[in-house]
Amino acid sequence: MPVSKEDLNALLGARHASPHSVLGMHPCTRGRGKGVVVRALLPRAQACSVVEPDAAGSPEFPMKRIAAAGFFEVTIPGRPSVFKYRLRATAADGTISEFFDPYTFLPTLGEQDLYLFNEGNDHRVHEKLGAHPRDLGGVKGVSFAVWAPAATRVSVVGNFNAWDGRAHPMRSLGVSGVWELFVPGLGEGELYKFEIRDGSGAILLKTDPYGTRFEAPPGNAAIVCTTGRFPWTDGEWIKSRSALGDRPDRPLSIYEVHPGSWRRRPEEGNRPLTYRELAVELGAYAVEMGFTHVELMPIAEHPFDGSWGYQVTGFFAPTHRYGTPEDFAALVDHLHGLGIGVILDWVPAHFPRDSFALAAFDGTALYEHADPRQGEHRDWGTLIFNYGRSEVRCFLIASALAWFDRYHVDGLRVDAVASMLYLDYSRPAGEWIPNRYGGRENLEAIDFIRRVNDLAHHYHPGVAMIAEESTSFAKVSRPTADGGLGFDYKWNMGWMHDTLRYFSKEPITRRWHQDDLTFGMLYQYAENFIGVFSHDEVVHGKGSLLLKMGAWHIPEKAANLRALYAHFWANPGKKLLFMGGEFAQAHEWNHDASLDWHLCQYQDHEGVRLLVRDLNRLYAAEPVLSSNDFNPHGFRWLSCKDSGANVIAYLRMDAFERTLFAAVGHFGGAVRSYRIGVPRRGFWREIINTNSEYYGGSGLGNDGGRAAEDQPADGFSQSILVTLPPLSTLIFKWQSD
């Protein structure tokens, strides 16, 4: 049974879609009796033999080289069935290698695996597709699997086969569109890609969509890597997190960090910190500053530094820039040990057009939409996932769950949700396709969002799913059972924009913009909001938070920023602050440079940092401020209409009004004596004064507090007469005596 000319030409031309039907060992009848035929394609071998290591004497059967390109064949008569064997190959330089034949192993994916994947219901398909070291019947190697339904041939290539697509063609697993191959003898550290022949005959060299580790550009090859060996020590943290369940109203003060520019090593070529260095230094700083969580801007693998990680090519892999996947696990584990949660930015809204990655993966619009009216993000030059395709949903859901499964992260902040929800996002009329009801909502994306949120909560109770969503889409942070999208939180960008607009005005003109401070309370309880001053506000010429403040001189700008921060922490809503904002970074953020830590030697900057630290500590210590954000009965205006005085005042309180805080913001430029109505007699202790000398102010304040007087004001029968320094926020706590 010699190989057919058709099969031989297809294999030598790297066009064969079913190499296992030809290569390997097969029963045959030839002449008298039964036997087996063994075929191998080894492009770099000059000679090859079949060796039976388990038989007495380890018999060896030389193979005939029937094609100069390295095709070998031998018929072994008298053997009733196939047997376990190895190939012994001799290279042109005389080097001899011995290995098990890849084409003797059964598929590593079963029919049920493929069915669930094609249906979109294999929630952990990342454990099957991609590259996985395995032991099959005592033979160690790596199983490779990739989804490429329009391909006519797929091979796995790497250093192990000189990147030759003829050497390891994969088998097609039928209508599933999946291609698979187990390669014995390979292990961790191997670089690989998939060589794909598309329907037109063109050759595409693609990296693994499910890769767990990647080399640096320009190579961009995936690296075989096992992710489950890290010795985690955070069992108590995970247990306590799970006990929280679906309780979103809990302390959440988030420090948003870009790992590559938080702090650098100037003495070592200005390199960024590694994951393990970040664990120590960032962990200690977050604890000192009182943040409850660190949010890392996208650390999933990406080729271009200037995308800040938002144009992802490796949806399952921590970027190589700061270390290995195990190093990243060590960062998370260390932060958990310090009591700090870890949130990751996750980007399922789009992906870049890089030819080595997802775009036109098998020569067709596989992960994206074919129609540019659905498949292009024109603002970002990227492509939009086809959420209606089951296998694409499976891929993205697996990506989300993998960060929880493999790296124990505590939440995902989902980027660009608004662009996912609307078919006409940033598109003029006539350049988008309505949904089946004629509307603008992306029904398939909405279904995907609900599903991934529900699954994250199902498999990992207590994790936080956070939406960066800038529109008025209803019920973003409401359960899917109630018709919501299922997020735990939504970024409150409306409040942020309004408030920054107010503080950017000169104090003398602020009286005309009082509604910028008060409008947000009209919708404050429509969602579970996180108040944010994120990286988006300090890039692209927007300037730093400090320089946004409406003043001419740095001391006045710092006073404004301190007043803003105290109002921010006293106001309802969880908190997020981008790195550098806590010490009034003066320059706009630069992803290629360290923060300006040297500024902390100056009081205008160090004072802001100390205030943020104290605000975080107050926030964590007082449940009224940290676990009462979504209770509409926990807030009451005291004064919100006195625009001429540039004053606002409000209460934060528990449901029974046993703990009361009064926040008074005075955003004008003169000292005022001001009467504020309060709901309780007794002493109102001044616990925060942003004008304190400790924070860089003049020290003018209220001598520790004020006793309530029987003088009506603001609808109450008693009030306190307070001294309001210019550009300041004061926080008082009620004491019964």
- 3-state secondary structure string, 390-455? HHHHHHHHHHHHHHHHHHCCCEEEECCHHHHHECCCCCCCCCCCCCCCCCCECHHHHHHHHHHHHH
Query: Measuring CA to CA, which residue among 202, 203, 190 is closest to residue 158?
Result: 190
The C-alpha atoms of residue 221 and residue 219 are separated, in whole angstroms, by: 5
**Sign of the alpha-carbon torsion through 111, 117, 119, 122:** positive
Residue tagged active-site, from 415, 527, 604, 686: 415
Question: Collapsing DSSP states into helix, strand and coil, what is residue 53?
Answer: coil
Q: What count of other Cβ atoms lies within 10 Å of the Cβ of residue 174?
A: 9
415 has catalytic annotation = yes
468 has catalytic annotation = yes
Tokens of 191: 């670089």
Query: Measuring CA to CA, which residue among 166, 98, 106 is closest to residue 134?
Result: 106
693, HSE (Cβ side, Cα atoms, 13 Å): 4
Angle at 551 between CA 550 and CA 552, to 5 degrees: 140
Give counts: helices (H), strands (E), the chain: 15, 38
Residue tagged active-site, from 468, 469, 614, 629: 468
Query: Measuring CA to CA, which residue among 8, 13, 356 is closest to residue 165?
Result: 13
DSSP 8-state symbol, 265: E
Query: Measuring CA to CA, which residue among 411, 212, 391, 215 is closest to residue 318?
Result: 212
**Residues facing 153 on adjacent strands:** 197
- Burial pattern 478-513, b for ≥16 Cβ within 10 A else e, equals bbbeeebbbbbbbbbbbbbebbbebbbbebeebeeb
Q: Helix %, strand %, coil % for the chain, to 5?
A: 30, 30, 45
Tokens of 1: 């049974």
Cβ atoms of residues 471 and 418 within 8 Å: yes
Which residue stretches of 480-591 are H helix?
493-503, 515-518, 545-548, 554-570
The C-alpha atoms of residue 563 and residue 571 are separated, in whole angstroms, by: 12
Residues marked as catalytic: 415, 468
